[in-house]
Amino acid sequence: MDSDDLSVADPTITRTGSFADRDAWGPLGEWCAVERAMTVIGNRSSMILIREAFYGGHRFDDLVRRTGLAETVAAKRLRQLVDDGLMEQRPYREPGARTRHEYVLTDRGRALFPLFVSLMRWGQGDGGPSRMDLRHAGCGAPLQPIVRCEAGHEVGIGETEIHLRPKVTSGAA
């Protein structure tokens, strides 16, 4: 039996479903999307390149200068981000110049928007300096990341349940 007698009462996610085989999970995160996500965006250089892409940076030169990364690192990460489907490289031509490439976020890359805002807001909570201020263009109010259920309720940790799916429902993909 798991040692689940909580000796402290702090808000955590409530567990529902069969957690009996919980320990059988492979160590490589074959079942856990969090681990997979971290292998893709879980390093500093990837994240700040994505940051600059959100800020509208497209060209290699700009991305390097505005991130402060070494060219070698930036090139390697950008290639990886393209491979992972977060960015794509588009050719374009300025009049009177030769063809260039530019990096653009894909839909999957842009889907990181809530994560990006969460990361920035959380990072600002350490009292350190931050010159960034994300606001709603419509009304100028600052942005906040929140968690909501599909029925429209705002949800905190204490109202969250985690359901563990049985093993693999081979019927549904």
Nearest-angstrom CA–CA distance, 170 and 173: 7
Restricting to residues 70-89, name those near a second copy by CB under 8 A: none
54 interface partner picked from DNA, a second copy, none, CB below 5 to 8 A per type = a second copy
Nearest-angstrom CA–CA distance, 149 and 115: 16
83 interface partner picked from DNA, a second copy, none, CB below 5 to 8 A per type = none
38 binds a second copy (CB under 8 A): yes
Q: In this complex, which beta carbon is closest to DNA, that of residue 34 or of residue 173?
A: 34
Using CB under 8 A, which of 73, 75, 82, 119 touches a second copy?
119
Using CB under 8 A, which of 98, 148, 170, 171 touches a second copy?
148
Tell me which DSSP letter residue 65 carries: H
The CB-of-79 to a second copy minimum distance in angstroms stands at 18
172 interface partner picked from DNA, a second copy, none, CB below 5 to 8 A per type = none
CA-based nearest residue to 81, from 108, 54, 62, 113: 108
Nearest-angstrom CA–CA distance, 115 and 121: 10
Q: Give the chain's end-to-end CA distance (angstroms, integer).
A: 31
Backbone φ, ψ for residue 102 (5° rounding): -140, 150
Nearest-angstrom CA–CA distance, 80 and 61: 17
Using CB under 8 A, which of 153, 170, 171, 172 touches a second copy?
153
36 binds a second copy (CB under 8 A): yes
* Contacts for 45 with CB less than 8 Å, ≥ 6 apart: 67, 69, 73, 74, 77
Q: Which residues in this chain contact DNA in the complex, by CB under 7 A?
A: 3, 27, 43-46, 59-62, 68-73, 75-79, 89, 100-103
2 binds a second copy (CB under 8 A): yes
96 binds a second copy (CB under 8 A): no
